[in-house]
Each structure stands twice: as C-alpha cells, then as structure tokens.
Amino acid sequence: MVVDCLKSEFDLDVSIDNIRAAVRRAFLRGLALELRQGYTKAEFCLPAEVSENPNQNIKLPNITNPEFIEKLEKRVWEIFEPELEGLLNA
C-alpha cells in the first residue's frame, strides 16, 4: 500500500524492498540514539501483563509465556547488535 500511495500521490517509484530497508534503518538509528542516551536492552521489553494476563479473546495457543519471550528477545538482539555497532561507535 505504501508503494502504491507513493506512486499515486507523488509519482515516486519506490520498491517494497527500499521501503523495508528505510524503515529498518530508521528503527535502528532511533534505537541507537536511545542506547546512546543511556537506555539499556532490559528497557526494551514487553510489559509483564502480556504474559501474566493474556487476551482471553484470542483463541490461538499462547506464545507470550516468559520462556518464549526470553528466546525471542535473545534472537532479536543477536540480529540487531551487529547492525547497531556501527551506529553506536559513530
């Protein structure tokens, strides 16, 4: 939808891959800025209520248990940390 909107409203030819890359760069730069300002990785987490009080209207298996969240968090940081190194040291 973003690609179509940019084309119809501004006559910009942007690929979905370029949009994804731009969003990723913006997210990583914002994250790097927050880490530079003193935030820690521990502050980037889901609120406890997500695992302690899951939405009862969702009829899918609950994947918000603390073990799953811990594994997910580890995998996310394994991907982001190498990408952040250049931004944090700049």
User: What is the mean pLDDT for each group of 10 consecutive residues in the chain (90 residues)?
Assistant: 93 93 94 94 85 84 83 93 86
What is the reported pLDDT for 37?
94
Which string of b and e fits 46-58 if b means at least 16 CB within 10 Å?
eeeeebeeeeeee
- Predicted model pTM: 0.73
Instruction: Please count the structural domains in the chain.
Output: 1
What's the one-letter identity of residue 75? R
Q: How far apart are CA 73 and CA 78, in angstroms?
A: 9
Q: How far apart are CA 64 and CA 37, in angstroms?
A: 29
What is the reported pLDDT for 49?
81
Helix/strand/coil for 30: helix
Look up the domain containing 38 and give its range: 2-88
Q: Are 3 and 15 in contact (CB under 8 A)?
A: yes
